[in-house]
C-alpha cells in the first residue's frame, strides 16, 4: 500500500478509546492538511474494521466529519454509531459532541 495510506492507518490506530477525530485532523497529522477526502477514500478501502476483526483492527469508526456529523462507513452509519456508543461517545442524531474530539 502507499505511504499515505499507511500513515493514515497508523494515525487512526492511535486514536484513544472513547475519542474521535475528524478527517481533516487525520489529514493534518499525515502531512496533507487539505487531503481530508483522500483520507476517507483510504479508510474506505480498509477492511480491518472493528465489527469484522475484534483483535486486529483500525478504529475507522472513530473518524467523523469536522462538524461532528457522522460520515459514511463500510458497515453503515448505524454500525458506526453503535460502536461509538459502546465506547462511551454520545451520539446526537448522527452527531457527536465536539468535546469528544481528540487532540494530541
Partner DNA sequence: GCTCTGACGATTT
Partner DNA sequence: GAAATCGCCAGAG
Question: Residues 15, 20, 29, 60: which binds DNA (CB under 7 A)?
Answer: 60
Q: Is 73 in the site for DNA (CB under 7 A)?
A: yes
d(CA 40, CA 25): 12
Q: With beta carbons less than 8 A apart as the criterion, state whether 18 and 87 touch.
A: yes
Q: With beta carbons less than 8 A apart as the criterion, state whether 34 and 44 touch.
A: no
Which cell numbers in the block locate residue 87? 465506547
Q: Which one of the spans 58-66, 81-89, 92-100 is the region binding DNA (CB under 7 A)?
A: 58-66
Q: With beta carbons less than 8 A apart as the criterion, state whether 61 and 73 touch.
A: yes
Which cell numbers in the block locate residue 71? 460520515
Question: Residues 11, 61, 89, 96: which binds DNA (CB under 7 A)?
Answer: 61
Residue 23 or 100: the one with the smaller Cβ distance to DNA is: 23
Q: Give the interface with DNA as residue ranges (CB under 7 A).
A: 2, 4-5, 22-24, 32, 34-46, 49, 60-61, 63, 65-67, 69, 71-74, 80
Amino acid at each position: 500500500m502507499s505511504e499515505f495510506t499507511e500513515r493514515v492507518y497508523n494515525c487512526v490506530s492511535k486514536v484513544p478509546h472513547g475519542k474521535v477525530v475528524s478527517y481533516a485532523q487525520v489529514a493534518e497529522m499525515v502531512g496533507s492538511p487539505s487531503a481530508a477526502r483522500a483520507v476517507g477514500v483510504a479508510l474506505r478501502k480498509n477492511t480491518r474494521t472493528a465489527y469484522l476483526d475484534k483483535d486486529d483492527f483500525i478504529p475507522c469508526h472513530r473518524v467523523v466529519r469536522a462538524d461532528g456529523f457522522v460520515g459514511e462507513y463500510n458497515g453503515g452509519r448505524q454500525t458506526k454509531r453503535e460502536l461509538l456508543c459502546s465506547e462511551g461517545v454520545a451520539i446526537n442524531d448522527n452527531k457527536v459532541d465536539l468535546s469528544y474530539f481528540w487532540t494530541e
